[in-house]
Amino acid sequence: MSSTSFSAGRNRSKVLVLAVLLLCAPLRAQDSARDPDRLYADREHLQSAMDAAAVWESRFKTNPKDFESAWKLARTCYWLGGHVAEDARRAQYERGIEAGRQASVLQSARPEGYFWMAANMGAMAESFGLRAGIKYRTPVRKALETVLMLDPGFQQGSADRALGRWYLKVPRLFGGSKDESVEHLKRSLTYDQASTASHYFLAETYLEMDRRDEARQEAQKVLDLPVNPNWVPEDREFKQKAKTLLERLR
């Protein structure tokens, strides 16, 4: 083979490789766009959260033993339930409850399924009146107590944080207790002193106890705390709620 022919062949190979790379680039970009973890990280854009849920739901249907897709679907449904149109919220919470339940069955020694099942049930109880409150009151508490048994520090004390909310919202006749709420919320703060959620819930509890100065202090902490890069949308919302609460306390 002449050097000219060899050079031409090598150039054709380079062109072919370049063409393959160019064809694959859009596919890689598409795969990246469908990465559910990246989509969930962009959950402030509701469509991204919906797309993440669709990916995890599809994966779980394809592989009913996919624990990670099940609990992450439950987590995403919890977010969606709080942000979609009002007439679509119940369906999201119900979807999240079932995904969390299946995750807890798949991995009964892991906390994720129990926690996100409880989160969706708790949101359902708060959002849909007395009947939902009665239905989910005990299952929420039991699921969160299971999380505490399995991993007390899970997600920076999230089970204690949620139980603090539970004890505030449930009537005393059915087991609610503002003192227990304070206890659980303070315990959650031992895992994460910078939790805007714990400080805000504590402010709400103190306000219900007519401890207005302490409520004001906790709400101010929410405003002063830096935004956690893992919980940016949630922190922004708690900061807005704290601002509103402080305006009520003036």
Please write the tens of the pLDDT for every residue from 86-115.
Answer: 999 999 999 999 999 999 999 999 999 999
**129, 151, 173 - which closes a domain:** 151
> Is residue 149 helix, strand or coil?
helix
- Are 177 and 145 members of one domain? no
Mean pLDDT of the chain: 90
Print the domain residue range for 175: 152-250
pLDDT digits (tens, 9 = 90+) for 110-166: 999 999 999 999 999 999 988 888 899 999 999 999 999 999 999 999 999 999 999
- Are 76 and 167 members of one domain? no
pTM for this model (two decimals) = 0.86
- Are 204 and 124 members of one domain? no
- Are 68 and 89 members of one domain? yes
Statement: residue 15 has pLDDT above 90: no
- Are 46 and 93 members of one domain? yes
Q: Does a structural domain hold residue 19?
A: no
Q: Which CATH number do you get for residue 45?
A: 1.25.40.10
Q: Does a structural domain hold residue 14?
A: no
**151, 180, 203 - which closes a domain:** 151
Q: Does a structural domain hold residue 60?
A: yes
- Are 103 and 167 members of one domain? no
CB burial of residue 22 (10 Å; 0-12, 13-18, 19+):
exposed
Q: Are 163 and 138 a contacting pair, CB within 8 Å?
A: no
Instruction: Map 153-218 to HEC letters.
Output: CHHHHHHHHHHHHHHHHCCHHHCCCHHHHHHHHHHHHCCCCCCHHHHHHHHHHHHHCCCHHHHHHH
pLDDT digits (tens, 9 = 90+) for 21-57: 444 444 333 444 489 999 999 999 999 999 999 999 9
**151, 181, 206 - which closes a domain:** 151
Q: Which of 154, 149, 141, 147 is nearest to 180 (CA)?
A: 141
Q: Does a structural domain hold residue 241?
A: yes
Q: Does a structural domain hold residue 20?
A: no
Residues with Cβ within 8 Å of residue 75, at least 6 apart in sequence:
40, 96, 112, 116, 119
Q: Are 66 and 59 a contacting pair, CB within 8 Å?
A: yes
- Are 106 and 189 members of one domain? no
